[in-house]
Each structure stands twice: as structure tokens, then as C-alpha cells.
């Protein structure tokens, strides 16, 4: 049985304000915890009208407090936006409060536009260019305490100092993070739902080049996909109309709340727009649970993930919950739980 997990963006819709979207995330986490999903990850995005969660660490604490079994983590913390010490302190706190249930997923991108990224980081000692590797190294040093002799950080302790950092995962949509995850011996999660890079190449490359480390002795690769399941293929296709219109708008730089099915079905698409939507459907798996599994199976067989992480971009919250229930039944989670 392939384990299933959830990636949640706390999606804002035209009928769901951001505060309600955050509460929906807590409700969905409770729901999938009872279904046997193994992980629930929250994203970090800023200045996006369609995403309500800019602070995954806050949501992790809230969700871990109301669930019992599921691991809760970040998918991910955008490391360029944060001082590594702050990340270490917050996630050590979460691990202390919920031992063995926290994951620290790290992203290399800022998760926003240039102006917002500057506003997030303008008061930090920010170096020019991509300093992700430097930040990752420093974050690891807060755990290993291998700072050079005489380094001023030798006198600084990330509290609580009796609690380790939770497992670290590197997130990616290209070959960069798969290479880095393999080299440093960490977990790897690939974002198939928006990546242009080939998922099979990234996943296989990670597994083949993985080097055991103090962080992990064996590779663990998560494949994140977008999927919508319903009782019939026709119903699922209608639900996917919201995603189609939203993705079309995103391609134009319009990060609007997710539209309703009715709005999406009534939209006057041009022939060129329909072609664009057809291309985008290669990243979305739609249908009954059996149909979704059939469409996913070739990708699963080729990429050999240790775990499948599902994001379900639908308008109605109860419908989203039902989609996760149908997938859980189809993949045998309830029986395994």
C-alpha cells in the first residue's frame, strides 16, 4: 500500500474568506487524521489572494493540537525569508510539544513576488543572490553545534536545547533539490502539481544518488500531485473547472481566489485558452477513485515514490473532504489504519 499524505494551501475561494479558509484547514486535518493519512503539510505563501497561510509553523501547532496520529509539517518553510536560528527555535519548540509528529520541509524560493520578498527580508543581513545553501548549512549547525572554534554562535543555543530538530525535507520542482537532498542525505518532496521538470527524472535521480547521513540512513521520496476524486467522472470534471480557470488566470499573473464551479463553467473560453487548459491538465488527476488511480499508476510505477502527497484544489470544503475520503478508501488507508 502506498501511503497517502495531504498538502494544504488553505485555499481562499470567492465564497470563503481567508479566516474561514484557515479554519477549514484545521477541520480537514481532523478529517484525514481519522482516515489514515500519514502527513499533513502546510505551505508558506505571501501576498497571494488565493492562499491564506503565510506562517506554516503557526498552523502546524494548531493542527497538531487537534489531531492524534498524523504527522504535521511545512510544505514548506521558505528558508530565504527567515533567519535559520528562528526556524530552528520554532521547530524545536513544535517537536518538544508534539514529539515524533513534526516535519520541517524547506523551500528554496521566497514564495511570493519581489517586492513582498524584499519587505520580508529588508531588515535581515541579506546577501545578494541565492544564499539557500548557506542558510541550510547554518540551520543544520544549530543542531550539530559544529561551528568553528571561536565562532560567536558557539555561545548561542537554540532552545529548547533538549529537543532535536524534526526530520528535514527539501522541496523542489526541478533537479536542484533532488541533487541536493541526495548529497546531504535528507528527505525529498517533488512538486509535480506545478513543476515543469520531469518528476520521474527528479525522483529516480534522488534515489540513485542518495548518500546516508546523520539526518537519514535511507532515501525517502514524496511525490506531490493534484487530484480530484468524486462519485462519477463527470462530477469530478465539473469540480475541476474551478482549477482550470484559476490556473489560466495564474498564468496571466492573476492570483485570485478560487472561482466557483458555476463561474468557471460559464466562462467564455477562447480556443487558445482551451488548448492551454488541456496542457495544464497533465498536472491534474481527475475522476472517480478508480479513474484517478488508473491515471496515476504509470507515474507511480516510473517514479517509485515512497509516499503520495495529494493537494485537492476544489471550491467547496465538504466536497474536498469527500475527495480525500474517496481516495483513502481506494488506496486502502482505512483498512491499513
Q: Looking at residue 28, what is its pLDDT?
A: 98
Q: Closest Cα partner for 157 from 229, 88, 81?
A: 88
* CA 239 – CA 241 distance, rounded (Å): 5
Measuring CA to CA, how many Å separate 199 from each of 143, 148, 284, 299?
31, 38, 14, 8
Tell me, what DSSP letter sits at residue 332? T
Q: Looking at residue 334, what is its pLDDT?
A: 65
Cell of 269: 473560453
Which residues in 7-29 are b (16+ Cβ under 10 Å) and which e? Answer: bbbbbbbeebebeebbebbbebb
Cell of 102: 513534526
Instruction: Report yes or no: 5 and 308 within 8 Å, Cβ to Cβ.
Output: yes
Cα angle for residues 139, 111, 50 (degrees, 5° grid) = 140
Cα angle for residues 261, 265, 271 (degrees, 5° grid) = 140
In the chain (337 residues long), the average pLDDT of successive 10-residue segments reads 96 97 98 98 94 96 98 95 95 98 93 82 65 94 95 96 98 93 98 93 97 97 98 98 95 93 97 93 95 97 98 98 97 71
Cell of 181: 537532498
Q: Looking at residue 305, what is its pLDDT?
A: 98
* CA 314 – CA 325 distance, rounded (Å): 14
Q: Looking at residue 119, what is its pLDDT?
A: 84
DSSP sequence for 239-277:
HHHHHHHHHHHHHTT--PPBPPHHHHHHS---HHHHHHH
Three-state secondary-structure class, residue 324: helix
Q: Looking at residue 113, what is its pLDDT?
A: 83
* CA 281 – CA 268 distance, rounded (Å): 18
Tell me, what DSSP letter sits at residue 9? -
* CA 308 – CA 293 distance, rounded (Å): 11
Instruction: Report yes or no: 101 and 132 within 8 Å, Cβ to Cβ.
Output: no
Q: Looking at residue 268, what is its pLDDT?
A: 97
* CA 180 – CA 172 distance, rounded (Å): 10
Q: Looking at residue 161, what is its pLDDT?
A: 96
Instruction: Report yes or no: 266 and 244 within 8 Å, Cβ to Cβ.
Output: no
Q: Looking at residue 112, what is its pLDDT?
A: 81
Q: Looking at residue 114, what is its pLDDT?
A: 82
Amino acid at each position: 500500500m502506498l501511503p497517502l499524505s495531504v498538502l494544504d494551501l488553505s485555499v481562499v475561494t470567492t465564497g470563503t474568506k481567508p479566516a474561514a479558509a484557515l479554519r477549514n484547514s484545521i477541520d480537514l486535518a481532523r478529517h484525514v487524521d481519522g482516515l489514515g493519512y500519514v502527513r499533513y503539510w502546510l505551505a508558506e505563501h505571501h501576498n497571494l489572494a488565493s492562499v491564506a497561510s503565510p506562517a506554516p509553523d503557526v498552523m502546524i501547532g494548531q493542527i497538531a493540537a487537534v489531531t492524534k496520529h498524523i504527522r504535521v509539517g511545512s510544505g514548506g518553510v521558505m528558508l530565504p525569508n527567515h533567519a535559520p536560528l528562528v526556524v530552528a527555535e520554532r521547530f524545536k519548540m513544535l517537536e518538544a510539544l508534539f514529539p515524533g509528529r513534526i516535519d520541517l520541509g524547506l523551500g528554496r524560493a521566497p514564495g511570493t513576488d519581489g517586492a513582498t520578498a524584499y519587505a520580508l527580508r529588508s531588515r535581515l543581513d541579506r546577501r545578494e543572490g541565492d544564499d539557500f545553501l548557506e542558510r541550510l548549512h547554518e540551520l543544520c549547525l544549530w543542531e550539530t553545534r559544529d561551528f568553528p572554534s571561536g565562532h560567536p554562535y558557539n555561545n548561542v543555543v537554540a532552545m529548547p536545547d533538549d529537543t532535536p530538530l524534526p526530520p528535514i525535507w527539501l522541496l523542489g520542482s526541478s533537479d536542484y533539490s533532488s541533487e541536493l537532498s541526495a548529497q546531504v542525505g535528507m528527505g525529498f518532496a517533488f512538486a509535480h502539481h506545478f513543476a515543469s521538470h520531469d518528476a520521474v527524472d527528479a525522483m529516480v535521480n534522488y534515489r540513485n544518488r542518495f548518500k546516508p547521513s546523520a539526518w537519514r540512513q535511507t532515501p525517502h521520496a514524496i511525490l506531490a500531485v493534484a487530484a480530484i476524486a468524486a462519485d462519477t467522472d463527470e462530477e469530478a470534471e465539473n469540480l475541476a473547472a474551478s482549477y482550470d480557470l484559476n490556473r489560466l488566470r495564474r498564468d496571466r499573473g492573476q492570483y485570485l481566489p478560487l472561482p466557483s464551479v458555476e463561474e468557471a463553467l460559464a466562462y467564455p473560453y477562447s480556443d487558445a485558452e482551451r488548448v492551454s487548459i488541456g496542457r495544464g491538465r497533465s498536472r491534474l488527476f481527475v475522476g472517480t477513485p478508480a479513474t484517478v488511480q488508473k491515471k496515476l499508476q504509470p507515474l507511480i510505477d516510473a517514479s517509485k515514490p515512497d509516499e503520495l502527497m495529494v493537494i485537492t484544489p476544489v471550491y467547496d470544503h465538504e466536497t474536498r473532504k469527500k475527495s480525500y475520503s474517496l481516495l483513502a478508501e481506494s488506496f486502502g488507508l482505512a483498512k491499513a489504519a
